Amino acid sequence: MKWDGNRLKYLRTKKKLTQEILGKKLDKAMSTISGYEINNSEPDVDTIVLMANILDTTTDYLLGVSDEPDIKIYHYNELPELVKEAGIENLRSLKDYKLEELTLDELTDLIEVAKKIKERQKREKPST
């Protein structure tokens, strides 16, 4: 494993954070963040863990162990229950989709959309 500051810079800019803002979140100087990004210095383990949390990634990605920057839900057996709770198990568009490949953000977005669809269906359902 070798620290690669380009990964940090990629994630920071993806989250639209400046070096100064990320530095404040990490309780580090902007120059320290710059040093990490240009590989002049390497963060300690605690800082890497905090970076991963702030940047919604894994420590494995930051350390070069994985090339996947997005957090994935690895416990597929939990997904059907989440889908069922959201009431989206019968959506045709999900039939062929590999739910286990969704990131946590994507699954959250999907569930929020499903909830809105259900609310709309309830409002439009004629009273008996």
pLDDT digits (tens, 9 = 90+) for 41-66: 999 999 999 999 899 888 888 988 87
Q: What's the CATH code of the domain at 35? A: 1.10.260.40
- Same domain membership, residue 58 and residue 18: yes
pLDDT given at position 113? 76
Q: Give per-residue pLDDT as tens, 15-34.
A: 999 999 999 999 999 999 99
pLDDT given at position 39? 93
- Quick check: is 67 in a domain? no
Q: Are 59 and 49 in contact (CB under 8 A)?
A: yes
Q: Give per-residue pLDDT as tens, 75-121.
A: 445 555 666 666 665 555 555 566 666 666 777 777 777 777 777 77
Domain count, the chain: 2
pLDDT given at position 81? 63
